[in-house]
Amino acid sequence: MMGLAESQHSSRSVWQRRYMAGLWLSDAAVVGLAVGVAQIARFGTETREVTTAAFSGLSYTAASVAMALLWLSMLTIHRTRSARVIGGGAEEYRRIAVATLQLFGLVAIVSMLFHLEIARGYLAIAFPVGLFGLSLSRWIARKVVSRQRAVGKCSTSVLVVGSRQSVLTMTRNFSRDAGSGYRVVGVCLPGHGFRDDDNMVVDGRAIPVLGDEYSVVHALRQCGADTVVVTATEHLGHEGIRSLVWELEPHDVDLVVAPGVVDVAGPRLEMRPVAGFPLIHVEKPRYHGAKRFGKSAFDLCFSLIALAAVSPVMVAIAIAVKATSKGPVLYKSERIGLDGKPFQMLKFRTMVDGADKQVEALFGNNEGAGVLFKMKHDPRVTPVGRILRKFSLDELPQFLNVLRREMSVVGPRPPLRREVEAYDGEVRRRLLVKPGLTGLWQVSGRSDLSWDETVRLDLSYVENWSMTQDLLIVGKTIRAVTAGSGAY
């Protein structure tokens, strides 16, 4: 078993080294291309010198080389190629943007101190070309890694130290987000002695139970994991965690401690040392003030642009709906919005006229999750409606709801009154923000999600909503709608 563990650690080190070396080469190529394009576009092939009172004979070629080296250094300083952010998405892009912004801020300061008059056109070309190129190259690299992880390669094997419920939750979440590359290969359950052939079955997959919270090093030798995730902090205590850190120090293993705070994003968590203890402070979610104003402004601008862009498509859909079935073009459905206020949500009609009256007769065939009514092969859906639903084209009129300030572009799924009446105290938190035309539920499986998963994703959005997250969800929605999966 020891040989297997060493082999897995070696395998992880090899692919990570190759990946980071590939990133370094792509960064160098993109940065070199950016400064080269900027120099040629601004000055052509002629030799030009930077106007300066401090140096003489400083050519733009030398300045471009210095800029490229400094740019690559800033990317290294900000750890944009760290294994911690491989496939990390937003965090990886954020580090690239911060490194690039700081670079050009540094260039501005140096220019002022040494009276360098660098052509503004040169910088105006190098900055966006480089930032776009770096982001694009990282996106391509992430896609390559995601495909590898989908077939079990380039993954991080995880040993979870925690209760059965925490293992169950983590394993399912890691499986759903295959792009993260985490795969649970072993478990240590508090108070559980080691027994041969003892397994814990999660969604049909057997995961070996390798002892209790004090058997971590032995378990690592058995399963060859390269990351230990600890959720059983109440069993280990601060002395047990400290001892575990020391035990794992000689091994090539990462240690991650789950704080037990579910679905709260990083910006709301702050580590502060108090009386020698590292305490995690959880900031309260903010639903008012500048953040809400920014979200409202985004909703207005995005909806106006979207309606202008898709208006020809909406006209064609309206004609198709009217020509192929009797009834109105638009279907109005009462939904519950912000703070429990009802409103009429607009959609293109995708069912036969009077379909609502047939719900009770079809309820025995309900395939929806929780209080939702869904049927994959609903007989009330028209042929045109089936196409509209597959690609979510029936939801385009909801941009009008956004302009009427009843909905947001991104938010929780708009609930029916009967759904809200069945909510418990926890689920009612979905009503703290406006329902959305799209949301985490839309980009994470749509109608294929269970009721519990739909609620969890909506509550996660409510707890952590931000403009950055909204933009990422909009981008993912376009891909999800184009694929047409999970919609019926």
Q: Is 214 helix (H, G, I), strand (E, B) or coil?
A: coil
Q: Return d(Cα 383, Cα 256) in angstroms, integer.
A: 51
- Can you list the domains of the chain with their CATH numbers? 2-150 (no CATH), 156-258 (3.40.50.1980), 290-483 (no CATH)
Please give the helix or strand (H or E) that residue 455 lies within, else none: helix 451-464
Q: Return d(Cα 468, Cα 463) in angstroms, integer.
A: 14
Question: For position 4, what pLDDT does the model report?
Answer: 42
Question: For position 472, what pLDDT does the model report?
Answer: 82
Question: For position 2, what pLDDT does the model report?
Answer: 42
pLDDT by position in tens, the chain (length 488)? 444 444 445 556 677 788 888 899 999 999 999 988 888 887 766 655 555 544 444 566 777 888 889 999 999 998 888 877 776 667 788 889 999 999 888 888 877 776 666 667 778 888 899 999 999 998 888 888 888 877 777 788 889 888 888 888 888 878 777 667 788 888 888 877 666 667 888 877 888 888 888 888 888 888 888 888 888 676 777 777 888 888 888 887 888 887 665 555 555 666 666 666 666 666 666 666 666 788 888 899 999 999 999 999 999 999 999 998 888 999 888 999 988 899 999 999 988 877 666 666 666 565 555 555 566 677 788 889 888 888 888 999 999 999 999 999 998 888 888 888 877 767 777 888 889 898 887 777 655 566 677 777 777 787 777 777 788 888 888 777 766 555 54
Q: CA separation (Å) from 139 to 85, 145, 151?
A: 13, 10, 19
Q: Return d(Cα 213, Cα 40) in angstroms, integer.
A: 62
Burial class (CB in 10 A: 0-12, 13-18, 19+), 275: exposed
Least Cα distance to 33 among 172, 137, 104 occurs for 137
Q: Is 288 helix (H, G, I), strand (E, B) or coil?
A: coil
Q: What are phi and psi of 21, to 5 degrees?
A: -65, -40
For residue 209, the cross-strand partners are 187
Q: What is the largest CA-CA distance in the chain?
A: 87
Q: Return d(Cα 335, Cα 267) in angstroms, integer.
A: 31
Please give the helix or strand (H or E) that residue 410 lies within, else none: strand 408-410
Q: Is 158 helix (H, G, I), strand (E, B) or coil?
A: strand
Q: Return d(Cα 11, Cα 8) in angstroms, integer.
A: 5
